[in-house]
Amino acid sequence: MTRHLIACEVFRPELERLMRGMADAPEVTWLEQGLHETPDDLRRKVQEAVDTFEAQGARTILLAYGLCGRGLAGVTGRTATLVLPRVHDCIPVLLGTTQENANDCALGGSTYWLSPGWLKYPQAFFFRDREQRRRDYEEKYGAEAAAYLIEVEAAWLQNYTNACLILWEGWDNEGELRAEAEAAARDAGLPYREVPGGDGFLRALLEGGHSEGFLRLEPGFTLDIDGNGAIAARPVGEEAS
């Protein structure tokens, strides 16, 4: 029976690496990285992908997503069970650890995270295109205005104290990944560090997500935060407690 997976492209390098060794790899719908910044768009696109797989007869759909700023709150299966990690964001999944351990590793939330998927897909364009934008600004507005505009663009980085690459062992292009991450950190003006990741979360998801680290949403249920701040299932249409 064909299995189905809906995944953010931030996980694409790791998932493709794991699926290369699978005899029964799932059918995948990839959604662009960065949708968590517009939760309504994220919710809509994930729901559309769920609806498409259900129309094909899927009864279980795996989601390589967390709650993502409540962007997945409201997403539901009408006939299929949805299975996804019981986490707030992608960092615990890439680290292969719990949300609590990931929070500790984030150094009080001051870490700007990097990963192979982050480097390969759209969010990295902010760094890669910065010097070209600076030249364009200088041509249009002059050097002083260009410097100001680049500074304004980077204002969101002021809350971070370091950039950290999550790097699994065994990448063929490990040196290239490290060089790109170090360049992104330099461009952001942030000290660089690395932490080892782990494939446990994503491997378990591909195997069906049967451990307590995953949430299984039966048809008519969605995920949200309960009264204790934990990620839990709730019926669609019922307000979170």
Helices vs strands, H then E, count in the chain: 10, 10
pLDDT (tens digit, 9 = 90+) per residue, 37-46? 889 999 999 9
Predicted pLDDT of residue 1 = 56
Predicted pLDDT of residue 28 = 96
Predicted pLDDT of residue 160 = 92
Q: Is 111 helix (H, G, I), strand (E, B) or coil?
A: strand
Q: Is 1.10.3470 the CATH classification of the domain at 4-93+199-235?
A: no
For strands 81-85 and 214-217, give the pairing: antiparallel
Predicted pLDDT of residue 63 = 98
Spell out the residues 6+ positions from residue 106 whose beta carbon is closer than 8 angstroms to its own. Answer: 91, 113
Predicted pLDDT of residue 128 = 62
Predicted pLDDT of residue 187 = 80
**SS3 assignment for 205-226:** HHCCCCCCCEEEECCCEEEEEC
Q: What is the pTM of this model?
A: 0.88
Q: Name the residue type at position 190.
A: L
Which residue spans of the chain are classified as CATH 3.40.50?
Answer: 4-93+199-235
Ranges of residues in the chain whose predicted pLDDT is under 50: none
Contact 70, 224 (CB under 8 A): yes
Alpha carbons 4 and 19: distance in angstroms, whole number: 13
25 DSSP assignment: P
